[in-house]
């Protein structure tokens, strides 16, 4: 079992706490003049995304979390699992609904995603920052309005709903910023 001493603590280090993998967000070393030192750390739970504060006695060891980030291509879903492939080794991974929760409304087959693996299994899947998706449903809007002001909801081929300018119509392909969930521009089809 790999461990880290508190002396090795720094932002980004992955550790195990109460059975869950965490990443260290902030590490503060506290040394009272007349007392034993301790580390006050902010850690983010990699499963839930929640950030909490923990305090360790300095010099103690903590179990390391076997967590790595890799790039995988999304293949398909069988309804229960979402299947991904390493484009170099062709190794395949299956992610459950929890892992793809935040990404699923943005990605379609063949998209390349950043995936965090914990003990070799996908823990979280991140959608690419920008995706291009076709609009499957939106109100026709006002003809001739090209100002981009106002806006209306549009449903995309993956099921996501974003606000688009009034002039954008069903069947058009648009570029979306997945981090904000916002329309960026019309996209030209390849």
> Taking the complex as a whole, how short is the minimal distance between the CB of residue 61 and other proteins, in angstroms?
10
Q: With respect to other proteins, which residue has the nearer C-beta, 34 or 143?
A: 34
DSSP-derived secondary structure letter, 8 = G
DSSP-derived secondary structure letter, 65 = P
User: Using CB under 8 A as the criterion, which residues of the chain lie in contact with other proteins when the complex forms?
Assistant: 7, 17, 29-38, 40, 52-58, 60, 62
Q: How many CB atoms lie within 10 A of CB 156?
A: 24
Supply the DSSP string of 86-117, one letter for each residue. -TTT--EEEE-HHHHTTTTTT--TT-EEEEEE
Q: With respect to other proteins, which residue has the nearer C-beta, 35 or 144?
A: 35
> Taking the complex as a whole, how short is the minimal distance between the CB of residue 63 and other proteins, in angstroms?
11
> Taking the complex as a whole, how short is the minimal distance between the CB of residue 49 and other proteins, in angstroms?
17
Q: With respect to other proteins, which residue has the nearer C-beta, 63 or 134?
A: 63
Q: With respect to other proteins, which residue has the nearer C-beta, 38 or 118?
A: 38
> Taking the complex as a whole, how short is the minimal distance between the CB of residue 43 and other proteins, in angstroms?
9
Beta bridge partners of 5: 61
> Judging by DSSP bridges, how do beta strands 3-5 and 38-45 pair with one another?
unpaired
Inter-residue contact 49 to 67 (CB < 8 Å) = no
């Amino acid at each position: 079992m790999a461990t880290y001493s508190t002396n090795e603590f720094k932002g980004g280090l992955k550790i195990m706490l109460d059975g869950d993998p965490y990443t260290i967000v902030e590490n503060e070393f506290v040394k009272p003049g007349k007392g034993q030192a301790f580390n006050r750390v902010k850690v983010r739970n990699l499963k839930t995304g929640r950030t909490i504060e923990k305090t360790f006695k300095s010099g103690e060891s903590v179990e390391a979390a076997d967590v790595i980030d890799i790039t995988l291509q999304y293949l398909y879903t069988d309804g229960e699992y979402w299947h991904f492939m390493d484009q170099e080794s062709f190794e395949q991974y299956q992610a459950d609904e929890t892992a793809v929760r935040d990404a699923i409304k943005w990605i379609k087959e063949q998209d390349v995603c950043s995936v965090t693996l914990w003990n070799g299994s996908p823990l979280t899947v991140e959608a690419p920052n920008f995706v291009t998706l076709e609009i499957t449903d939106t109100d026709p809007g006002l003809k001739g309005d090209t100002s981009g002001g106002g806006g209306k909801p549009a449903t995309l081929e993956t099921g996501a709903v974003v606000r688009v300018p009034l002039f954008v119509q069903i069947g058009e392909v648009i570029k979306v910023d997945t981090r904000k969930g916002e329309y960026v521009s019309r996209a030209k089809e390849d």
